[in-house]
Amino acid sequence: MDYAICVPYRNRTIDLTAKDWLHLRLASVILNHSYMRKFGIRVAELVVTIIKDFPAEAKEGETKDE
């Protein structure tokens, strides 16, 4: 997914272009990997791990994902 993002910097904003990838690792884990560029130069990279939280009773035994 490609999009534009405005990042606050000092008293102004900087417009960056971003490219996102979502990677499904397990049934309950997704990695969001993003690159941000300015004038075609990579200025930032972000990796976010999203883990589905199971109810307490599911954590004690086996989950449905296993």
Encoded tokens for 14? 């900087």
pLDDT tens for each residue of 26-60 = 888 999 999 999 999 999 999 999 998 876 666 56
Q: What is the mean pLDDT of residues 10-37?
A: 93
pLDDT at residue 57, as a whole number: 64
pLDDT at residue 53, as a whole number: 83
Separation of alpha carbons 35 and 46, rounded Å:
7
Q: Which residues of 21-55 are buried (b: 16+ CB within 10 A; e: fewer)?
A: eeeeeeeeeeeeebebeeeeeeeeeeeeeeeeeee
| Ranges of each domain in the chain | 2-54
pLDDT at residue 46, as a whole number: 94
Amino acid identity, residue 15? D
Q: What is the mean pLDDT of residues 18-24?
A: 94
pLDDT at residue 61, as a whole number: 58
CB neighbour class for 10 (10 Å; exposed up to 12, middle 13-18, buried from 19): exposed
